[in-house]
Amino acid sequence: MPDGYGLGRSAGWSERLHATGADALYLHVPFCAKKCAYCDFASWATPRGDGLSQPYAQALAEQVEQVASLGFLGRCETAYIGGGTPTFLGKGLGGLVRRVTADAPGLCELTCEANPDSLTDGVLADIASAGATRISMGVQSLCDAELVELSRIHDAEQARNRVRAAVLSGLDVSCDLMCAIPRQMPASWRTTLEEAASLGVGHVSIYPLQIEGGTTLARRVGDEQPIWNSPDVQASRMKQAQVELEDYGFHRYEVASYARSADKECLHNQVYWTGRPYLGLGSGAASMLTAEGYLRLLEACPQLGPLPDGMTRVRLKVLSGRDEISNNRGLASLSFEEEFLTERQAVAEDLMLGARLARGLDAGLVSYARSILAPSLDERLERLVGEGRLDDSLAPTEKGWLLGNELYGGLWDLAGDTETLVRRSP
């Protein structure tokens, strides 16, 4: 990791809570060629050649320039262009990557999310030459019948072909896979895991399918949680993934994340889990800023309004739609949902997020949290260890992860008042 960039993983917790910039940048591209049956992300099925996506990419690039001119990106280490389907932008994605690499000179990692249907050889070569270092492929399954149930736009062979092309390009490649889905059986899940591992990817993320209200899938299954998605099936598929992937040399470094070696772990996601500030641009994108970072953003976004007294952390979500952003009136025209956290809440949140990591709660965080949350912190940690949710080194156990809500909720409760202040601007 180069000196002088970002807070770095060794930064103290006090430093993290008072940084003035962002360690990570997220850009959201809310366009997809087709909506998947289970998807409730900010993404819309968009016809090819629509008039919106290229102006949107251009407007996003200009917002990146704006935040760079505020000094937000001088210490930025990682960037992630996600969606939606960033590869839907075609050549426009390369332009966005170029803008980010020009404005965030200290980047160690730049990931583009990709869908097998739109990751062409041309897009791959273009983003690699523009400075992307990593591709995260939405594969979900390598069984055709399961892909049909999910209404994915690609089949298994197209996914294999595009993952192979991405690996051959020399970029780091990650694969998203989904478990507890319709038609999935232990044998078909094993096939998906083994094939994905054999394709040469360095990283795999595993998610149990969540049936979200309002989606096509939720309407299809009705009110009862189907057996193929029951908590027991989710737990057994997650366990199976661990066993299979470890056989292929992967290690689990986060509840849902596996890497073939330490240098293949996703640096960007680790910013999210370790209390380091990040900035998100684009429709639906989320940011986590310190109070100091928020005051800096106010210079370009006066619509955000004053920082309420006693707040340490601000979570922002861009509420502006893709049409508004495409009109390109800059940061000052965006509307946001803002959520303000006190120092107690911010520290409790960091403990909760830290419990996602296999290495467990950072000693520096625990020591800082003790100065804010004593004596309830030690009592709570002892209880979680006694219940077998954390081990003696404060790393999550299998039981802790399997019944994650108890573990994460037990740490978040340390905030005392778990109700946060939320407002909308303008």
Residues in 74-103 that interact with ligand SF4 by CB under 6 A: 83-85
How many positions of this chain bind ligand SF4 (CB under 6 A)? Answer: 11
- Rounded to a whole number of angstroms, the minimum distance from the CB of residue 312 to ligand SF4 is 32
Please select the residue that binds ligand SF4; options are 53, 63, 115, 274, rule is CB under 6 A: 115
Does position 164 interact with ligand SF4 (CB under 6 A)? The reply is: no
Closer Cβ to ligand SF4, 36 or 300, answer by number: 36
3-state SS of 272-302?
HHCCCCEEEECCCCEEEEEHHHHHHHHCCCH
Does position 29 interact with ligand SF4 (CB under 6 A)? The reply is: no
Residues in 183-212 that interact with ligand SF4 by CB under 6 A: none
Please select the residue that binds ligand SF4; options are 8, 11, 35, 235, rule is CB under 6 A: 35
Does position 138 interact with ligand SF4 (CB under 6 A)? The reply is: yes
Does position 32 interact with ligand SF4 (CB under 6 A)? The reply is: yes
Helix axes 186-198, 231-247, angle to 10 degrees: 30
The tokens describing 224, both together, are: 């009862």
Please select the residue that binds ligand SF4; options are 5, 9, 41, 207, rule is CB under 6 A: 41
- Distance in angstroms (rounded) separating the CA atoms of residues 223 and 211: 10
Selected range binding ligand SF4 among 36-44, 47-55, 90-98, 223-231, rule: CB under 6 A: 36-44
Residues in 328-387 that interact with ligand SF4 by CB under 6 A: none
Does position 234 interact with ligand SF4 (CB under 6 A)? The reply is: no
Amino acid at 274: T
Helix axes 376-386, 363-373, angle to 10 degrees: 130
Q: How many CB atoms lie within 10 A of CB 215?
A: 18
Amino acid at 246: E
Closer Cβ to ligand SF4, 212 or 247, answer by number: 212
Selected range binding ligand SF4 among 33-41, 95-103, 230-238, 326-334, rule: CB under 6 A: 33-41
Please provide residue 103's backbone torsions phi and psi, each rounded to the nearest 5 degrees. -95, -15
End-to-end CA distance of the chain, in Å? Answer: 39
Could you tell me which of 182, 176, 177 has the C-alpha nearest to residue 229?
182
Selected range binding ligand SF4 among 31-39, 185-193, 247-255, 412-420, rule: CB under 6 A: 31-39
Please select the residue that binds ligand SF4; options are 6, 19, 43, 184, rule is CB under 6 A: 43
- Distance in angstroms (rounded) separating the CA atoms of residues 183 and 239: 18
Closer Cβ to ligand SF4, 85 or 283, answer by number: 85
Closer Cβ to ligand SF4, 39 or 285, answer by number: 39
Q: Are strands 134-140 and 203-208 parallel, antiparallel or unpaired?
A: unpaired
Q: Are strands 286-290 and 31-32 parallel, antiparallel or unpaired?
A: unpaired
Q: Are 188 and 218 in contact (CB under 8 A)?
A: no
35-57 in b/e burial notation, b at 16+ Cβ within 10 A? bbbbbebbbeebeeeeebbbbbb
- Rounded to a whole number of angstroms, the minimum distance from the CB of residue 145 to ligand SF4 is 18
- Rounded to a whole number of angstroms, the minimum distance from the CB of residue 114 to ligand SF4 is 10
Applying CB under 6 A, the residues found at the interface with ligand SF4 are: 32, 35-36, 39, 41, 43, 83-85, 115, 138
